[in-house]
Structure 1
Amino acid sequence: MKRRSFLKSVPTVAVASQILPAQDAKPPFGAEFPSLDSQTTGTWWAPRAVAAPKANPGGKGKAKGKGKGNAGPIVDLNVPRDQVVCFAIYTHERGVLKVSAQLFPLKPAEAREARLEIKRGDAWQEVARAEVLYPGWDAHFRVEGWDNTQTAPYRVRHGEKAMFEGTIRRDPIEKDEIVIANMSCNSARTKGGRPEIVNRLLQQDPDLLFFAGDQTYHHTEHTAGWIEFGLQFRDVMRDRPTICIPDDHDVGHGNLWGENGKRSTIPGDADGGYRYPVEYVNQVQRQQSWHLPDAVDPAPADRGITVYFTRMRVGGIDFAILEDRKFKSGPAGKIPQMGPRPDHINDEKYDPKAIDLPGLQLLGERQMKFMRDWTQDWSGAQLKCVLSATAFCGAVHLHGSPDNRLLADLDCNGWPQTGRNEALREIRRARATHLCGDQHLAVTLKHGIDEFGDGPYGFTSPALVNTIYGRWWHPKDEKPGPNAVAGSPLPWTGDFKDGLGNRMSIMAYANPEDIQDEKKRADGYGLARFNKKTGQVTFECWPRFSDGSQFPGWPITVNTDDNDGRKPTAWLPEIIVEGAERPVIQVIAESNGEVLYTIRAKSSRFQPPVYAEGSYTVKIGKDKPDAQTLAGLKATDKAKAGSKTVKV
């Protein structure tokens, strides 16, 4: 396919002979928001006046909504008509292939239908047709009965000549190592391609791509911004499954507390909810996330805002995909304000418990139920990993500039603390690793819940392009914490509490050296290499402009078993399982019914550790703990515990 620069201006020649359909002739999101997606709707090909961007320091949605759009075209939208299929992304899970295609805007005489073809042998076979939706210009294909043991070329077609080609990879279940690329925060202030990142990713050949959010910062022009993102990354996305979740900037926010879908009404949106119309939010989510496996609980949130939290298995790694902004409470009006704005705290004497109040939500009960179910279902899984937009702590000191120190930022998932700890306990129950983005600062750490180090490992990716709101890890006393990483090239590792009182053990961080110099502002991305044979995961952190070296402090290799960092105080009898080489073992405290953990054992023999004296129930099965139950097992010394044999 012939490539064109996507940095040129939209041609200024109007097509006067074409008549726009009536449904396209008015602002698609209502008169209150005429600028939403204005570059790709209406008579998008016609010349138009360019308005200067309006100042909007408070982030009030109404003011931005009533503006006249961005100050100039984001990308060249009026492409040759044999190039109107811009890119495609896909996943497949349990026999269902889902493909989303993004088209450039179509003209009135052009068919609003796209076709998906799969190559079987030497012949192309059409397997699905889909409407090209407006606004958005996206098309979506669902193919049942997909054979994930086979690799197959695909192409999305429009009309006679336009097409986008790629490869549907088979599930790499036979590989010992599964690699996921961890990426976020693709600043729009640096135009053009991302060849340094894409070319290295093509060489590293990850099995899965994870874009954790802020794929575009064009708040009111998502379709044009999404097309820009696709042009930047399509050469690596076309040939491997891609998980993509929108975050705050994708839906037009500086920060987002979705509060189950309500509408935000104050500057900065800290009251909770969404600034822009439901239809716009749903379009963003559809364009970025429709191709994910079906939502596990698809009922919409309030006002009809769609949901997409789900699970996906690749090569034996089971990923829980969260919407960590959608159900989170907004702070304004719910907690005492202790800073210049409702979500910022600078009072070093404040009590963190004063803002961790009953009724505040983080993931919300629907997602917590999903997490509880997910941790106990090991079908097709050997290791588990949780994916979310942002981190479950505030591992940042300096915000926006090196002279702006902030004690606590409620935009991170370290608040509310009770919800944070509940989420981490569920992650710990499956000994899962956590990957995320959003913070514009690469950090690898070990979470602490009740004690330092008793929680799972987390890896926050650096910003792909870090021109918007840089951040730094820089303790005020410039001293390492207890248990600092031995031999680290970094000065401030070890045990710390964030400004919300959350425990965290910092293992590595990648501070910008000079935020004004694009080669020193810590742009980059992460890789996580899951080794199913050893049970280890290796975190890699790559600068955008790398000389072949990673950021100082990486790579870091850890054991996934240590995602549960609690120290055993007693043991149950060794479980010898007949009929399963790697059974699933669940341990439940009989005193209160708490599930301590549900894991896939490394062999048919497993001696369960526990963390207090008492009686326990152990459940065993092949993929779920549903085949055998042993109740009333007493915790004791490891050498005295004995053994139990069960068949599954």
Structure 2
Amino acid sequence: MRQTRRSHLRSLALTTGSLMAAPTFAATSPMPFGEEFPALDSLAVGDWWTKKPKGKSAPPLMTVPRDKVVAFALYTQDSGVLKLTAQLYPLKPGEAREARLEFERDGQWTEAARVEVVFPGWSAHFRVGGWDASVNVPYRVRHGEAAMFTGVIRRDPVDKDEIVIANMSCNSSRTTGFRPEIIDNLLAQDPDLLFFAGDQTYRHTEHTAGWIEFGLQFRDVMRDRPTISIPDDHDVGHPNLWGENGKLSTRKDNADGGYFYPVEYVNMVQRQQSWHLPDAVDPAPIQRGITVYFTRMRLGGVDFAILEDRKFKSAPFGNIPAMGPRPDHINDPSYDPASIDLPGLQLLGDRQLKFLSAWGEDWQGAEMKVVLSQTAFCGAVHMHGKRNDRLLADLDCNGWPQTGRNRALEALRRCQAVHLCGDQHLAVVVKHGIDEWGDAPYSFTSPALVNTIYGRWWHPLDEKPGPNPVPDSPLPWTGDFKDGLGNKISMMAYANPPDIEDEQQRADGYGLARFDKKSRRVTFECWPRFADSKDGANAQFPGWPIQVEMAANDGRKPVAWLPELLFKEAKDLVVQVLKADGSEIISTLRIQGNRYQAPVFADGEYTVKAGQDRPEKSVLDKVKATPTKEAAGTKEITL
């Protein structure tokens, strides 16, 4: 019998052993990041209350009335575990270093946990086991007698046919103040999940102040729905980031790889932004003790793999031949892309590839799959920074190294997962190609939320569409192209800024991805920052919305077929096809109904497995593929 919300809250109050917080720091050092970095996060350490931010684009004051010190909160829930992070303003000497989490039922509030506020960073972290995801639960985080932040833990919308994800990134710190034009639209559109793909703040050495600034801007939409936030390069104080498994970077441009700010600072950024995500699937730290957070989360029957696509990536400097004045930029059209795709280079790294492989086979609680990461698996951009600054290849994107890019896309393709990301400051929808154009998944890169940092444009040199342009598109340059790294991409839509100097014409905004579980379709929407969502689809950037079939995320052309499977007394099973010798998984999918006929992409013998949530039982063993569906016949299967 389903537990009532009242009894659920009562049990939480009584089982404090299931409530855990992140590690805490006993001292409040004026220089928590060492004497080499005395001013790092200066607005939130030391005698912070004596410091006032300076400059035209300064962050907000950290000194607030003491009944306002709980700035905001963000949370996720998955598999019966609620995780919530509350971000506090810096606390003064003598103030309690403790935050409290309370839940409400019928006007009665029950305290569920007390945790220590973590320094540096001034965040408080609550982990609640045994969470009942079937009901909405109001919450509040309290500090002292009067400080409070309130919201609602939403129930898991498993009964909804359509799950809506807001796709956002790149929130310029040069434009201060609130974001009412974005928040009003998001509240009206009411997404089920918020995804912030990175660069939530560009305050490189003042993350706590920048993170609080971001939270104030978006807290009214974050407070009552789950939020996934993952830091990118600017969040940890870098112009670009090639993590190289956590080594120490010594170059100002970071092109040698690693991190050049102290481990304690990097971990503080990750803790503030991502502690509230479901527990890391492989939590072992990388070099020097830098933490990891790559994980999965399920919401409403949609399964999200959350990646860290900078942390393990190889750096250009010292690893590939020099190609120009910058180690990460290439502008010589005669260069051979294969010359920089060298053995041993990493993109996602072995640990994340192993995770993606396992995630693709596990469909518990899932009907559709999505991969979330910081940046795109291609270089879908021509102009960088200024309207006439053409760049052939930018190694900061995930189109390099190409072999790593292809391995990542193969993992997505096997389970027909779509990809959502940000970072590029240019909204695009592309269909990737590995061996052929269109044989790999779709990807939606969101525009910059506020684009006063860096403009980018899609503008082919010959100003012609590629082969197979999008029919009836209002955009002139869609179709099949190669990016500057030699990767095959099919451009579906792009949102070039007409004038990066004009606030109304910077092509900033956000994306929505609508996952229709019944039809297995995904609709991408792209909304300008100053659009009015009440105007409907006509208010979107030209070229959107775009609707794609989930099945089209595997665009390989079948050359043969396996027998049709007719499952007796079972439906909506997970079906896996693999080569008979076990050397390669071809696909792992949750089918609809009780019939499924699998395509294959080479002649030979195959094995098919099936199960309720995982492919646990062999149902066809070493069966030979046939060139037509009809010739393959039908097999009745009883699990």
TM-score, with structure 1 as normaliser: 0.93
What SS does the aligned partner of 2:99 have? Answer: strand
The answer to whether the 8 A contact 2:409-2:440 is kept is yes
Query: CA-atom RMSD, angstroms?
Result: 1.3
1:568 has 2:558 as partner? yes
TM-score, with structure 2 as normaliser: 0.94
The answer to whether the 8 A contact 1:588-1:594 is kept is yes
> How far did 1:22 drift?
10
Give, in whole Å, the separation in 1 of the partners of 2:303 and 2:180.
30
What SS does the aligned partner of 2:101 have? Answer: strand
> How far did 1:248 drift?
0.2
Output one character per residue of 1:383-415: Cα deviation in whole Å (capped at 9) or x when no partner. Answer: 000000000000000000011100000000000
Output one character per residue of 1:157-177: Cα deviation in whole Å (capped at 9) or x when no partner. Answer: 001110000000000000000
Residue matched to 2:631: 640
Give, in whole Å, the separation in 2 of the partners of 1:598 and 1:306.
31
Give, in whole Å, the separation in 1 of the partners of 2:73 and 2:613.
33
1:20-35 alignment to 2 at 5 Å? 23-35=27-39
Output one character per residue of 1:230-249: Cα deviation in whole Å (capped at 9) or x when no partner. Answer: 00000000000000000000
Output one character per residue of 1:343-392: Cα deviation in whole Å (capped at 9) or x when no partner. Answer: 00001000000000000000000000000000000000000000000000
The answer to whether the 8 A contact 2:574-2:591 is kept is yes
1:92 has 2:77 as partner? yes
The answer to whether the 8 A contact 1:128-1:142 is kept is no
Residue type of the partner of 2:278?
Answer: P
Pick the aligned partner of 1:408 from 388, 393, 407.
Answer: 393
1:473-492 alignment to 2 at 5 Å? 473-492=458-477
Residue matched to 1:159: 144
1:539 has 2:524 as partner? yes
The answer to whether the 8 A contact 2:58-2:176 is kept is no
What SS does the aligned partner of 2:265 have? Answer: helix
1:498-537 alignment to 2 at 5 Å? 498-537=483-522
> How far did 1:46 drift?
1.3
Pick the aligned partner of 2:49 from 45, 49, 60.
Answer: 45
What SS does the aligned partner of 1:519 have? Answer: helix
1:423 has 2:427 as partner? no
Residue matched to 1:601: 591
1:139-538 alignment to 2 at 5 Å? 139-538=124-523
Give, in whole Å, the separation in 1 of the partners of 2:202 and 2:80.
34
> How far did 1:317 drift?
0.2
Residue type of the partner of 1:33?
Answer: F
For structure 2, list consecutive stretches of 5 or more residues without a partner in the other structure.
Answer: 1-24
Give, in whole Å, the separation in 2 of the partners of 1:115 and 1:47.
28
Residue type of the partner of 2:40?
Answer: L
What SS does the aligned partner of 1:24 have? Answer: coil
> How far did 1:47 drift?
4.6
Output one character per residue of 1:298-327: Cα deviation in whole Å (capped at 9) or x when no partner. Answer: 000111000000000000000000000000
Indicate how the Cα distance of structure 1 residues 227 and 308 shifts in structure 2: closer, same or farther if over 3 A, else same.
same
Pick the aligned partner of 1:79 from 50, 64, 72.
Answer: 64
Indicate how the Cα distance of structure 1 residues 462 and 72 shifts in structure 2: closer, same or farther if over 3 A, else same.
closer
Residue type of the partner of 2:43?
Answer: Q
Output one character per residue of 1:627-647: Cα deviation in whole Å (capped at 9) or x when no partner. Answer: 334211111121111122222
Residue type of the partner of 2:299?
Answer: V
Residue type of the partner of 2:303?
Answer: D
Give, in whole Å, the separation in 2 of the partners of 1:514 and 1:640.
58
The answer to whether the 8 A contact 1:39-1:73 is kept is no
Residue type of the partner of 1:590?
Answer: A
What SS does the aligned partner of 1:373 have? Answer: helix
Residue matched to 2:12: none
Indicate how the Cα distance of structure 1 residues 22 and 506 shifts in structure 2: closer, same or farther if over 3 A, else same.
closer
Indicate how the Cα distance of structure 1 residues 107 and 608 shifts in structure 2: closer, same or farther if over 3 A, else same.
same
Give, in whole Å, the separation in 1 of the partners of 2:595 and 2:225.
36
Give, in whole Å, the separation in 2 of the partners of 1:184 and 1:211.
5
> How far did 1:48 drift?
6.6
Indicate how the Cα distance of structure 1 residues 39 and 73 shifts in structure 2: closer, same or farther if over 3 A, else same.
farther
Residue type of the partner of 1:144?
Answer: G
Give, in whole Å, the separation in 1 of the partners of 2:97 and 2:56.
29
The worse-fitting range, judged by mean Cα deviation, of 635-644 and 412-421 is: 635-644
> How far did 1:255 drift?
0.3
1:118-129 alignment to 2 at 5 Å? 118-129=103-114
The answer to whether the 8 A contact 2:607-2:618 is kept is no
Residue type of the partner of 2:105?
Answer: R
What SS does the aligned partner of 1:360 have? Answer: coil
> How far did 1:25 drift?
4.7
Indicate how the Cα distance of structure 1 residues 347 and 591 shifts in structure 2: closer, same or farther if over 3 A, else same.
farther
Residue matched to 2:17: none
> How far did 1:74 drift?
1.3
The answer to whether the 8 A contact 2:329-2:394 is kept is yes
Residue matched to 2:7: none
The answer to whether the 8 A contact 1:328-1:362 is kept is yes
The answer to whether the 8 A contact 1:628-1:646 is kept is no
Indicate how the Cα distance of structure 1 residues 216 and 530 shifts in structure 2: closer, same or farther if over 3 A, else same.
same
Give, in whole Å, the separation in 1 of the partners of 2:560 and 2:469.
28
Residue matched to 1:12: none
Residue type of the partner of 1:46?
Answer: T
What SS does the aligned partner of 1:324 have? Answer: coil
What SS does the aligned partner of 2:578 have? Answer: strand
Output one character per residue of 1:23-70: Cα deviation in whole Å (capped at 9) or x when no partner. Answer: 4353110110111100111111115796xxxxxxxxxxxxxxxxxxx8
Give, in whole Å, the separation in 2 of the partners of 1:217 and 1:195.
20
Give, in whole Å, the separation in 2 of the partners of 1:331 and 1:592.
35
Residue matched to 1:9: none
> How far did 1:130 drift?
1.1
The answer to whether the 8 A contact 1:446-1:504 is kept is yes
For structure 1, list consecutive stretches of 5 or more residues without a partner in the other structure.
Answer: 1-20, 51-69
What SS does the aligned partner of 1:513 have? Answer: coil
Residue matched to 1:104: 89
> How far did 1:128 drift?
1.2
Indicate how the Cα distance of structure 1 residues 152 and 257 shifts in structure 2: closer, same or farther if over 3 A, else same.
same
Give, in whole Å, the separation in 2 of the partners of 1:328 and 1:336.
17
Residue matched to 1:613: 603
How many positions carry a matched residue from both structures? 609
Give, in whole Å, the separation in 1 of the partners of 2:115 and 2:146.
17
The answer to whether the 8 A contact 2:170-2:450 is kept is yes
Pick the aligned partner of 1:623 from 585, 591, 613.
Answer: 613
Give, in whole Å, the separation in 2 of the partners of 1:25 and 1:502.
49
Give, in whole Å, the separation in 2 of the partners of 1:421 and 1:472.
24
Residue type of the partner of 1:647?
Answer: T
Output one character per residue of 1:534-576: Cα deviation in whole Å (capped at 9) or x when no partner. Answer: 0000000000011430000000001010000011111000111
